[in-house]
């Protein structure tokens, strides 16, 4: 019997998930038996608070949990399991690595998703929480794969192509913003174009991705150019690239067009 499509996203903060996988999920929401598991290491309580948002440093974590739920309703596909690890925002890298691995491993063993998506070693922005949760998820994936059972067919890392990064930086400079510097934490970090093994065309569901992103109202101030129209945002999220962390992409093989292609 062919396995039903299933996906686990393991990331650090509310809104990390939407930037990389919301479109791919929307494209598969009607697959028979499709299951989507979302694991968040923190509630983002140390994040910024945008003007006009009725939250304080003491209440931001709870506020962002509600934002996360609202975002996935706006995306149009609520997670079948929405799991919080409840670590302190900004301090995931200080958690005992074995503890972090074992907690994620327990979820992967119970769920046995076909695909696990997380951060690569660049953390996309170099954020220490991103890098820590990504490394622990990679280790948990390989340990879970060693246990008998279905699923765990593919491990992917969200990514930004070098060519895309350069285009975005040119646009930022034209609009008077500082260019992203990959050497700084919280700045975007690209991967070589040739390392991208999957690139999903999400243009048909881009409006849904943007609708969910807009629900993360408390973090609007972290979007440096808030003047961009929703149409422009839709163009920015019209593709979802991934690095194939396991099994690694064979040299000179075509880039896959879907997370589940070939499974």
Element counts in the chain: helices (H) and strands (E) = 7, 7
- The pLDDT value recorded for residue 2 is 78
Look-up of token digits 């979007």: 223
pTM of the complete model beyond 0.85: yes
Burial 85-119 (b: 16+ CB within 10 A, else e): bebebbebbebeeeebbebbbebbeebbbbbbbbb
Percent of the chain at pLDDT exceeding 90: 80
What are the CA-CA distances from residue 68 to residues 64, 73, 212, 263 (Å)?
Answer: 6, 9, 9, 30
Dump strand ranges (E) for 88-224: 115-119, 154-158, 196-201
Exposure of 51 in the CB half-sphere (CA atoms within 13 A): 2
For residues 145 and 253, give the distance between their C-alpha atoms in angstroms, rounded to a whole number. 24
Q: What is the mean pLDDT of residues 129-153?
A: 97
Q: What is the mean pLDDT of residues 98-116?
A: 98
Question: Can you list the domains of the chain with their CATH numbers?
Answer: 6-162+189-246 (3.40.50.10320)
Percent of the chain at pLDDT exceeding 70: 96
Ramachandran quadrant class, 197 (left: phi over 0; alpha: psi -120 to 50; beta: rest): alpha
Compute φ and ψ for 247, nearest 5 degrees.
-65, 145
Residue pLDDT, tens place only, 1-19: 678 999 999 999 998 987 7
Cα dihedral 221/224/227/232 (nearest 10): -120
Q: What is the mean pLDDT of residues 139-148?
A: 97
114 confidence band (pLDDT: 50, 70, 90): very high
User: Does residue 230 carry a pLDDT above 90?
Assistant: no
Residue pLDDT, tens place only, 28-43: 999 999 999 999 999 9
* CA nearest to 88, candidates 16, 10, 12, 140: 12
- The pLDDT value recorded for residue 8 is 98
Look-up of token digits 């953390």: 123
User: Does residue 225 carry a pLDDT above 60?
Assistant: no
For residues 249 and 197, give the distance between their C-alpha atoms in angstroms, rounded to a whole number. 6
119 confidence band (pLDDT: 50, 70, 90): very high
């Amino acid at each position: 019997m062919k396995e039903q499509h299933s996906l686990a996203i393991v990331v650090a903060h509310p809104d990390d998930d939407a930037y990389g996988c919301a479109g791919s999920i929307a494209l598969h929401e009607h697959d028979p038996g499709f299951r989507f598991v979302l694991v968040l290491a923190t509630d983002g309580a140390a994040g910024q608070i945008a003007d006009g948002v009725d939250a304080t440093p003491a209440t931001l974590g709870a506020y962002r949990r509600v934002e996360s739920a609202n975002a996935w309703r706006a995306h149009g596909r609520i997670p079948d399991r929405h799991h919080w690890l409840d670590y302190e925002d900004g301090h995931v890298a200080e958690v005992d690595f074995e503890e972090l691995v074992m907690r994620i491993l327990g979820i992967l063993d119970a769920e046995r998703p076909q695909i696990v998506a997380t951060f690569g070693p660049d953390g996309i922005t170099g954020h220490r929480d991103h890098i820590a949760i990504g490394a622990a998820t990679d280790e948990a994936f390989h340990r879970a794969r060693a246990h008998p059972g279905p699923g765990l067919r593919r491990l992917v890392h969200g990514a930004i192509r070098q060519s895309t990064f350069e285009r975005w930086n040119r646009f930022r400079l034209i609009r008077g913003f500082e260019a992203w510097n990959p050497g700084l934490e919280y700045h975007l970090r690209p991967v070589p174009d040739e390392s991208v093994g999957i690139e999903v065309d999400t243009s048909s569901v881009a409006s849904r991705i943007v609708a969910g992103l807009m629900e993360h109202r408390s973090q609007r101030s972290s979007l440096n150019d808030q003047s961009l129209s929703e149409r422009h945002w839709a163009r920015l999220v019209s593709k979802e690239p991934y690095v194939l962390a396991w099994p690694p992409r064979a040299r000179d093989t075509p880039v896959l067009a879907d997370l589940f292609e070939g499974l």
